[in-house]
């Protein structure tokens, strides 16, 4: 174990500024990676997303499922930062903070960006109503209000974390809540004729459905009750709110080791992912820059987490999806159920084409491959080495849009499985030859090196390539 700790320290401290993000469709094990790194780094910055991202961690204090708390929280010497590109649900954050303070020997160091957008009660309700209104065309959001909060931010009509400290917060909250109630009635298909029950003669008014509606006042919100929750949150979180750009810059100037922790992953990026089946933020290096205030020239590396197979939660294209016994096997053995939604994840063989696209668009320079141990018992393993589209073959996807992915057929290479338990391996040289060949194939196809491998959920179930 001494050798493993030395290898880990050498890896995580060899670069001053690193960002850890997902190279695929999320759920690749970022939380475990950050929890491991937090034993050796000085600052962990959560860089994007909100409570729609769930990072599961297993360490000496038990299992944690963080949605907002940066995963460096277990080390009292680490400064945990919630950056400016993160959407903050203050109620959820307090729940996680309470849990950490109850179970850890020391309270985490935490600072929250005053510029981060706030999730308000109406964002969550709007999220639910909008998904409902889309019917079969819904995109499968987590209904945590994250996209709605980002939407209001883009419209310059939202609340920021710093607004919790404003003396006029309560007045603004009640004013906006009233307007939001009317807006949600529109989303839900109600007519804003009056708040009085009106009766119309047949044929005097028509709707798209040819039915007569009365204006019914629904209580989408209880503004007074919700306001009290936010005022209590302001009291609790107030001392933790500050200018995180300044704090990160000071740490950088002092030579501190800084690690970014992304939510979601490259293939879900708002701009570069399979729109509209994407998240509402930027998980790659661009999100790190927004959240920290550091410059691109100050980032030393971007580590992409990638499962040894593929998973995806929600809707959207997934060329290597397995809807058979093998898909069920990967799901059950890998415990592939969403940390946030509990939804079963879609599973499939490793897609080198999609992963390479994620690597390129997120600025990833090296990989941390996780869950290779889930493949231990398989006699054979397939890897997608290319796509066939309308009779043409591609090693790189020419069109990553939803329409461009509609007719994709994966081209597979079948490799021999290793059929040996690798969960106890801590040195790369101890992997079976077949496993090394599989990892080498991934490196060749994705065109970045694998620097770290995770072979189990525990913190020490990890292999560093600098310890061969």
Cα 136 from Cα 138, distance rounded (Å) = 6
pLDDT tens for 328-339 read: 999 999 999 876
- For residue 268, which of 377, 400, 418 has the smallest C-alpha distance? 400
Cβ neighbour number for residue 453 with a 10 Å cutoff: 24
Cα first-last separation, the chain: 14
Maximum distance among all Cα pairs of the chain, rounded to whole angstroms: 83
55 has catalytic annotation: yes
245 has catalytic annotation: no
Q: What is the assigned CATH class of domain 121-239? A: mainly alpha
pLDDT value at residue 224: 92
The residue-averaged pLDDT of 201-214 equals 41
Domain ranges of the chain: 15-115+243-467, 121-239
Q: What fold does the segment set 15-115+243-467 form as a domain?
A: Adenylosuccinate Synthetase; Chain A, domain 3 (3.90.170)
% of the chain exceeding 70 in pLDDT: 90
pTM of the predicted model, to two decimals? 0.89
DSSP 8-state code for residue 136: G
CB 274 within 8 A of CB 317: yes
- Mean of the per-residue pLDDT values for the chain? 88
Confidence of residue 419 (pLDDT cuts 50, 70, 90): very high
Residues found in the chain: 468
Bridge partners of residue 202, in order along the sequence: none
pLDDT tens for 221-232 read: 888 999 999 999
Give the dihedral of Cα atoms 274, 276, 282, 283; nearest 10 deg: -50
Confidence of residue 173 (pLDDT cuts 50, 70, 90): very high
pLDDT tens for 110-160 read: 999 999 999 999 998 888 877 776 666 565 566 778 889 999 999 999 999
- Please say if the pLDDT value at position 214 is more than 60: no
- Please say if the pLDDT value at position 42 is more than 60: yes
Q: Alpha helix locations (H) across 193-259? A: 223-237, 244-253
Catalytic residue among 27, 152, 269, 373: 27
Cα 91 from Cα 68, distance rounded (Å) = 11
Query: How does 221-236 read in b/e, with b if 16+ C-beta sit within 10 Å?
Result: bebeebbeebeebbee
Confidence of residue 242 (pLDDT cuts 50, 70, 90): very high
pLDDT tens for 352-363 read: 999 999 999 999
Bridge partners of residue 412, in order along the sequence: 384
CB 317 within 8 A of CB 273: no
Pick from 115-124, 274-283, 379-388, 396-405: least confident: 396-405
Cα 443 from Cα 438, distance rounded (Å) = 9
% of the chain exceeding 90 in pLDDT: 68
The residue-averaged pLDDT of 25-43 equals 93
The residue-averaged pLDDT of 278-287 equals 95
The residue-averaged pLDDT of 69-84 equals 94
Cα 266 from Cα 362, distance rounded (Å) = 6
Of residues 128 and 101, more confidence is placed in 101
- Please say if the pLDDT value at position 209 is more than 50: no
pLDDT tens for 374-393 read: 999 999 999 999 999 988 89
Catalytic residue among 19, 35, 42, 55: 55
């Amino acid at each position: 174990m001494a050798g493993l700790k030395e290898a880990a320290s050498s890896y995580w401290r060899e670069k001053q500024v690193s960002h850890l993000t997902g190279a695929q469709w999320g759920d690749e094990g970022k939380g475990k990676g950050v929890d491991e790194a937090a034993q050796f780094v000085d600052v962990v910055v959560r860089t994007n997303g909100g409570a729609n991202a769930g990072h599961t961690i297993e360490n000496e204090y038990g299992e944690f499922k963080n949605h907002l708390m940066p995963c460096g929280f277990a080390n009292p010497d680490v400064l945990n930062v919630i950056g400016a590109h993160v959407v903050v649900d203050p109620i959820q954050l307090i729940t996680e903070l309470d849990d950490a303070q109850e179970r850890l020997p020391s309270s985490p160091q935490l600072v929250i960006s005053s510029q981060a957008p706030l999730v308000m009660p109406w964002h969550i309700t709007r999220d639910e109503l909008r998904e409902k209104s889309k019917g079969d065309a819904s995109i499968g959001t987590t209904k945590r209000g994250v996209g709605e909060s980002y939407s209001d931010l883009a419209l310059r009509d939202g609340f920021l974390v710093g607004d919790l400290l404003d003396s006029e917060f309560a007045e603004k909250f009640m004013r906006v809540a009233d307007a939001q109630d009317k807006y949600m009635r529109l989303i839900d298909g109600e007519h804003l004729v009056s708040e009085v029950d009106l009766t119309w003669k047949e044929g005097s008014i028509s709707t798209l459905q040819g039915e007569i509606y009365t204006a019914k006042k629904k209580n989408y919100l209880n503004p007074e009750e919700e306001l009290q929750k936010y005022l209590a949150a302001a009291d609790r979180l107030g001392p933790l709110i500050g200018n995180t750009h300044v704090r990160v810059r000071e740490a950088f100037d002092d030579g501190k080791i800084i690690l970014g922790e992304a939510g979601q992953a490259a293939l879900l990026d708002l701009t570069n992912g399979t729109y509209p089946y994407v998240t509402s933020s930027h998980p790659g290096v661009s999100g790190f820059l927004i959240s920290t205030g550091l410059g691109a020239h100050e980032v030393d590396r971007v580590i992409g987490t990638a499962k040894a197979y593929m998973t995806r939660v929600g809707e959207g294209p997934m060329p290597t999806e397995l809807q058979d016994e093998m898909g069920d096997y990967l799901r059950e053995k890998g415990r592939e159920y969403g940390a946030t939604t509990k939804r079963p994840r879609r599973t499939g063989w490793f897609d080198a084409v999609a992963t390479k696209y994620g690597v390129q668009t997120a600025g990833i320079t090296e990989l941390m491959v996780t869950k290779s141990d889930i493949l231990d018992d398989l006699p054979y393993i397939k890897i997608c080495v290319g796509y066939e589209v309308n009779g043409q073959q591609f090693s790189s996807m020419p069109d990553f849009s939803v329409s461009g992915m509609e007719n994709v057929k994966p081209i597979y290479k079948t490799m021999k499985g290793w059929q040996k338990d690798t969960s106890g391996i801590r040195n790369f040289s101890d992997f079976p030859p077949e496993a090394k060949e599989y990892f080498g194939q991934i490196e060749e196809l994705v065109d970045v090196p694998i620097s770290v491998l995770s072979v189990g959920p525990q913190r020490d179930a990890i292999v560093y390539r600098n310890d061969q």
